[in-house]
Amino acid sequence: DAGITQSPRHKVTETGTPVTLRCHQTENHRYMYWYRQDPGHGLRLIHYSYGVKDTDKGEVSDGYSVSRSKTEDFLLTLESATSSQTSVYFCAISEGSPQETQYFGPGTRLLVL
């Protein structure tokens, strides 16, 4: 299995609080991604990174920010969590391009009350 970890694995928070999710990889892959998965929608891309300090928006980026200060770490921040951001968040990595196989972390279950 690809060396990808996510923390925390579960989190319950209240509306309006900031939340940061961490993705850590040991594969030295260039690309990292954050997705959310909700019933009926499948996986939707939030943000992705193509290198240290290089990030871009996905299709559902509103309300989220990301940072990548090291190759191995990609952080997703919800500046002010809302109930609509209750979801399962998956981090993924790929080696050379977004069109290549992506490998996923175990996911973070976030509940915003």
Partner 1 sequence: RKEVEQDPGPFNVPEGATVAFNCTYSNSASQSFFWYRQDCRKEPKLLMSVYSSGNEDGRFTAQLNRASQYISLLIRDSKLSDSATYLCVVDLNTDKLIFGTGTRLQVFP
Q: Rule CB under 8 A: which residues touch partner 1?
A: 35, 40-43, 45, 48, 50, 56, 58, 90, 97-107
**What span, in angstroms and rounded, lies between the C-alpha atoms of 78 and 37?**
16
CB closer to partner 1 out of 20 and 57:
57
- DSSP per-residue string spanning 74-108: EEEEESS--GGG-EEEEEEEESS-TTS--EE---E
Find the shortest distance in angstroms from Cβ 53 to partner 1. Answer: 17
CB closer to partner 1 out of 16 and 106:
106
Find the shortest distance in angstroms from Cβ 98 to partner 1. Answer: 5
Find the shortest distance in angstroms from Cβ 88 to partner 1. Answer: 8
CB closer to partner 1 out of 16 and 41:
41
Q: Is 63 left (phi over 0), alpha (psi -120 to 50) or beta?
A: left
What is the residue type of 14?
E
